[in-house]
Structure 1
Amino acid sequence: MKKLKKGDTIGLVSPANSVDLEKLKSAVENLERFGFNVKLAKNADKSWYSFAGTDLERANDINEFFRDDEVDTIMCVRGGYGGIRLLNHLDYELIKKNPKPFIGYSDITSMHMAFSKKCNLKTYHGPMAASNFSGDYDEETLNHFLKVMEKNEDYHLENFSKELKFYNSLSSKGELIGGNLAVLVSSLGTEFDYDYTGKILFLEDIGESTYKIDRMLWQLKNFGVFEKISGVILGDFANCEKSADNDMSLKDVFDSHFEKFDKPVISNLESGHCTPMLTLEFGKILEIDGVRKTILVKSNV
């Protein structure tokens, strides 16, 4: 799949909630200032209940942009909720025959999963137009996004400022998959679920009580996911607090699951609902070196 370059056309779609029109306008102006052409999907600025158009309208926008030869890359405008409602309306044969970069995070996890399973499409857990590039956007988020999208070379995945926590000194490699924990669990065991065998699983979330994070991790464990994967990377878990004084903290939850885990586990990666935000390449091979405490992203996939 080709990389993004200046002068390419980015197609903006709204697969989930409707968008603030001023934020959308600002994001388009900024993307054009970055050197890209921008094409808005037919329903990108519409509203139907809390969604950006009906389920079929939103799905058709995605199908149409995969069909459209003028569109080089597809970026989601924002997340929220609604992606899971589209999955039965997407044309997976069309998408498989017309692969192109697809970018988003949070609720967009539903589509990352479906595109991986149905189309073997490599997608990007990356910034979204209105969510990240409207107004006074974050320069570090933009620079890392451009580095990942424009270059094809090995690189080490490193945080901007926070220290990564390696739970052990084990090493492994595997294809990176994952996304938002709550959204991922909602498709667990369905026809749109990931193939977890040998994969490195990235997880992030926002606004979930710590007992809910624990319950979802147990759901993954009880479904056999942790037996199949080759490693875990935990991203940003914004505003995931205790709901009662005697609940486990987020650290307690993670420690209870991963302190004695027999595969590499890394936490505190700056990707998810955070600023700045790292762009991740789902489908790329990652090499985790638990001795050197490094994560290498390989370019040959």
Structure 2
Amino acid sequence: MANSPPLLKQGATIGIIAPSSYYDKEQFSTSISLLKNKGYKIVFHDQVDAQHNQFAGTPEEKLNALHDYFKNPHIDAIFTLVGGNGALHLLDKIDYNLIKQNPKILMGFSDVTALLNAISSQIGLITYHGPTIASFSKIATEDIDQCFDLLHNQTLNIPIPNDINTEGLLYGGNLSVFQALIGTDYAPPLDKDLILFIEDTNDHLSRYDRMIAHMKLAGWFKNVKAILVGEFLKSQDNPDRPFGMEIEEIIKTHTPNIPIVTDMPFGHGERLITLPVGAKVLLKNSTLSYKS
């Protein structure tokens, strides 16, 4: 059974790490001001300023930052700076027992999908697919409010356009990163009822088709009860030789018997609701719901 981390409280101290690509944190000052104005204390790990090629430091530096903030009793929640690349490098080095003994909120999206799903599937701790520091200043105000409502109260009620009646453990995130977990020890369990949610950005339709086909061939859809499809921003195609299918049709082609909910408000655009990865969620009465 999934375990919720301690609730985020008003005035909490939020620690920032950068498990993926390097970006200068100064360019996200608007997001930091937003969080401070909400009453939170913000602390950056020194690792955020590290740079190794395009990454925010070496895998060892990133790993130390992750471990440091999970075991630090003065850090109440861990938010991630930005996505990019490189979080996948950490999965076989993480001290999952340390995290299990020191549970707290971990949130991010995009490349951070790797950490969220690995940690949740390994130790049953709910993690949060939601804004990075880079995205707080870009997303809709209603999604920021929903994010903190979930973190403060551990409740979720999101309207959906389909009247589906099913339930399962919620896993997913960025399709490209999530698909890279399939076949590893860090993918979600195949033997439990699952609700999959996916989004992506700036990739070719033919590659999305390959990813979904791989997941099907790996047997990953056999216990998936529904698929929630967010925004696939800037999907690319060959104008001279069009692929011929958009993302919804691609998914339906490979999973004809699984209910699909499209136009969900999460992705790399202006909409990014926060979702509890690893939580048991209910789809009923045109609502996606969860309560700890």
Is TM more than 0.5 here? Answer: yes
**2-structure distance, mates of 1:76, 1:21:** 11
Identify the residue that residue 236 of structure 1 maps to in structure 2.
231
Q: Secondary structure at the match of 2:188?
A: coil
Unpaired stretches in structure 2, ≥5 consecutive residues: none
Q: Which digits, 9 at most, give the CA deviation of each residue in 1:135-194, with x for residues without a partner?
A: x764223112111111234x4213xxxxx554xx65211111111111111121111111
Q: Secondary structure at the match of 1:88?
A: coil
**2-structure distance, mates of 1:30, 1:113:** 27
Contact 1:238 1:273 in 2 (8 A): yes
Residue type at the aligned position of 1:133: F
Identify the residue that residue 253 of structure 1 maps to in structure 2.
250
**1-structure distance, mates of 2:194, 2:89:** 26
Residue type at the aligned position of 1:225: W
Identify the residue that residue 93 of structure 2 maps to in structure 1.
89
Displaced runs of 4 or more, over 4 A = none
Alignment of structure 1 residues 1-301 onto 2, 5 Å: 1-129=5-133, 131-134=134-137, 138-153=140-155, 155-158=156-159, 166=162, 170-196=164-190, 197-244=192-239, 245-250=241-246, 251-258=248-255, 260-261=256-257, 263-289=258-284, 292=285, 294-300=286-292
Q: Which digits, 9 at most, give the CA deviation of each residue in 1:258-301, with x for residues without a partner?
A: 5x32x332111011212121111112222123xx4x1332213x
Residue type at the aligned position of 1:253: I
Stretch moving more, 21-30 or 76-85: 21-30
Q: Which digits, 9 at most, give the CA deviation of each residue in 1:32-59, with x for residues without a partner?
A: 1121011111211221111111110011
The percentage of aligned residue pairs carrying the same residue is: 28
Residue type at the aligned position of 2:251: F
- Distance of aligned partners of 1:52 and 1:224 in 2 relative to their CA distance in 1, 3 Å threshold: same
Contact 2:139 2:269 in 1 (8 A): no
Contact 1:18 1:52 in 2 (8 A): yes
Identify the residue that residue 161 of structure 1 maps to in structure 2.
none
Residue type at the aligned position of 2:136: F
Contact 1:12 1:77 in 2 (8 A): yes
Q: Secondary structure at the match of 1:84?
A: helix
Q: Secondary structure at the match of 2:47?
A: coil
- Distance of aligned partners of 1:15 and 1:232 in 2 relative to their CA distance in 1, 3 Å threshold: same
| 1:209 positional shift | 0.8
**2-structure distance, mates of 1:275, 1:34:** 20
RMSD: 1.8
Contact 1:286 1:295 in 2 (8 A): no
Q: Secondary structure at the match of 1:43?
A: helix
| 1:117 positional shift | 2.2
Q: Which digits, 9 at most, give the CA deviation of each residue in 1:115-151, with x for residues without a partner?
A: 022221100000011x2134x7642231121111112
| 1:238 positional shift | 0.7
| 1:71 positional shift | 0.6
| 1:89 positional shift | 2.5
Stretch moving more, 42-51 or 18-27: 18-27
